[in-house]
Amino acid sequence: MLAKHGRIAFATTSRQSSRLPFTQSSRRAPRAAVECRFSIFRRMARAAGSTPIQPRRPPAARCPAMTHTDDKTLDELDQFLMSDIMSENTMTIEMLDGYLTAIAIGPATIAPTEWLADVWGPSEDDAPDFESYEQAEHVFNLMMRHYNAILQTFDKDPSSIAPLFSVNEVGEDDDAHEYIDAEAWANGFFQGMGLRWDDWQPLLEHPEADAWLRPLRLLGGDELSDEERELVAVPAEREKLSEQVPPSVLKIHEFWLPHRAPTQARLLAQTIQRDTPKVGRNDPCPCGSGKKHKKCCGTDDGQPD
């Protein structure tokens, strides 16, 4: 049995898919935030662009009409996350999308300095060795662009959400069939919840919570009954569950609306993103370490203290 993986931008009203010419293994990221440290091998210098990245696979195709983040941003971010300099524990673009969605619609505003570390993996060794500070900030800005696009979609038109799901091809030749699979996305969503698990308790105690979280739990959870495992072992059933994810996410979003901070605070990330690499020496370092820029990537020799 042959299984190929692609990615789909899935909306609540329609869906399309594009198969990709690569095989991608399933990976899971940890739930606990860890300190992220970056190794900068070159002196900090203003450059026209970042060092080219050698991808492990071609960039994924998607449906432009259904994607809220522009294709160029998603392609470049996708390539970086799958590049050779990344750990095998690093999130895929699908997992990152679910992770950022949970952060965007959840009960608390979470600063990038807290959530960025989990993107790379559970260990300090999983953090990428960026070739320059410019490259590190460029990748950070790609993530912030996508995160801000998610925030704006939920603020302006939640019904148009377009989560990035995988597409699995099962079978061979004429017998092959493609199925939508939101496992990676759901896993990322649960990891995003884990950043503020105590704050999520009001939703978990709601009488409708089990129904809202059911497709996410069955696809991205680990603790399943034998009957549930048999259910999710069938590709067609996984697709049905995946199609239930966007409506469930909308219900979760609606639940938290009265609890969340004002929109202006929710869009705090926009004040962090810049078109050019200008970071004050006393500002938090964009690498996510939590240190001041001058004590981290902004040191004279390019090395953190």
CB 263 within 8 A of CB 269: no
Helix/strand/coil (H, E, C) string of 199-265? HHHHHHCCCCHHHHHHHHHHHHCCCCCHHHHHHHCCHHHHHHHHHCHHHHHHHHHHHHCCCCCCHHH
Cβ atoms within 10 Å of 240's Cβ, excluding its own: 14
List, for residues 227-247, the tens digit of each pLDDT value. Answer: 888 898 888 999 999 999 999
Q: Is residue 194 a part of any domain in this protein?
A: yes
Cβ atoms within 10 Å of 214's Cβ, excluding its own: 16
According to DSSP, the residues that pair with 6 across neighbouring strands are 167
Q: Is residue 303 a part of any domain in this protein?
A: no
Q: Where does the pLDDT of residue 198 fall: very low under 50, low under 70, confident under 90, or very high at 90 and above?
A: very high
Quote the domain boundaries for residue 224: 3-295
Residue 117 parent element (H or E): helix 112-120
Q: Is residue 305 a part of any domain in this protein?
A: no
Residue 170 parent element (H or E): strand 164-170
Q: Is residue 59 a part of any domain in this protein?
A: yes
Q: Is residue 20 a part of any domain in this protein?
A: yes
Mean pLDDT of 263-270: 50
Q: Which two tokens stand for residue 268?
A: 């705090």
CB 269 within 8 A of CB 148: yes
User: What's the structural domain count of the chain?
Assistant: 1
Mean pLDDT of 298-304: 49
Whether the full predicted model's pTM is greater than 0.85, yes or no, is no
List, for residues 138-192, the tens digit of each pLDDT value. Answer: 999 999 999 999 999 998 999 999 899 988 888 777 778 888 899 999 999 999 9
Q: Is residue 250 a part of any domain in this protein?
A: yes
CB 80 within 8 A of CB 139: yes
